[in-house]
A and B are shown apart, each in its own frame.
Chain A
């Protein structure tokens, strides 16, 4: 059984550019959530994808968007990068995407984005 894998592990972009981060969910999981973790802070929920549709979103602007594919892998896209977007981006997968609140999340190691 494989865990959650994310790519790339590190990347550097300049302000105004666009970035795509990728996530492969754990085998058997059908839901993917994305979190942003700034240095020294706890992760913040960006959004969740279930059955290839966004079904929950945190307080992030529309320039943060995502996709989920039929194999349950996912992408996070961020347009018009700002300096404050520098953070560790974590992907988490789980089996059930319904709002039952009983899901144990499996997190990946993250993608560290630096915006200069």
Chain B
């Protein structure tokens, strides 16, 4: 049974810092791993999707890596801004369809 864990649960940093959010999963047989952003009271916005055959994906200041052998993914945020404040969720797709297994998220606060 796939389980996804995210560390840390919460993070508060000053503006401009480079950040690393961690995600671990127990079953390495995944189709892909996705990172989402969720603002308070809102739905999820897809940030990056890494296929099982890929090692990393980049979008702007965001870079996500995937290491299936160790069951880990990291989301790197460069030069953080107050607008980055949100909850970041990772989700593993190991059952096909759109059955994503989510972690509980990392709540990020970036203060000026």
* Residue contact A102 to B31, C-beta cutoff 8 Å: yes
A42-B99 CB under 8 A given contacts A102-B32, A108-B43: no
Q: Which chain B positions have C-beta within 8 A of A101?
A: 30-32, 51-52, 93, 96
A-B pair count, CB < 8 Å, reads 80
Q: Which chain B positions have C-beta within 8 A of A94?
A: 98
Interface string of A58-86 (1 = CB under 8 A from B): 10000000000000000000000000000
* Residue contact A90 to B46, C-beta cutoff 8 Å: no
**Interface size counted on chain A using CB atoms at 8 A:** 31
B66 to A: closest C-beta gap in Å: 13
A45-B100 CB under 8 A given contacts A4-B43, A107-B43, A108-B43: yes
Interface string of A73-114 (1 = CB under 8 A from B): 000000000000000001010100101111111111110100
A103-B105 CB under 8 A given contacts A42-B4, A42-B91, A109-B42: no
Compute how far the CA of A33 lies from the CA of B101 in the bound complex, rounded to whole angstroms.
Answer: 13
Q: Which chain B positions have C-beta within 8 A of A112?
A: 41
* Residue contact B102 to A44, C-beta cutoff 8 Å: yes
A43 (CB) vs chain B CBs: closest residue: B102
Residues of A at the B interface (CB closer than 8 Å) are 4, 31, 33, 35, 40-45, 48, 55-56, 58, 90, 92, 94, 97, 99-110, 112
Residues of B at the A interface (CB closer than 8 Å) are 4, 30-32, 34, 36, 41-46, 49, 51-52, 89, 91, 93, 95-105
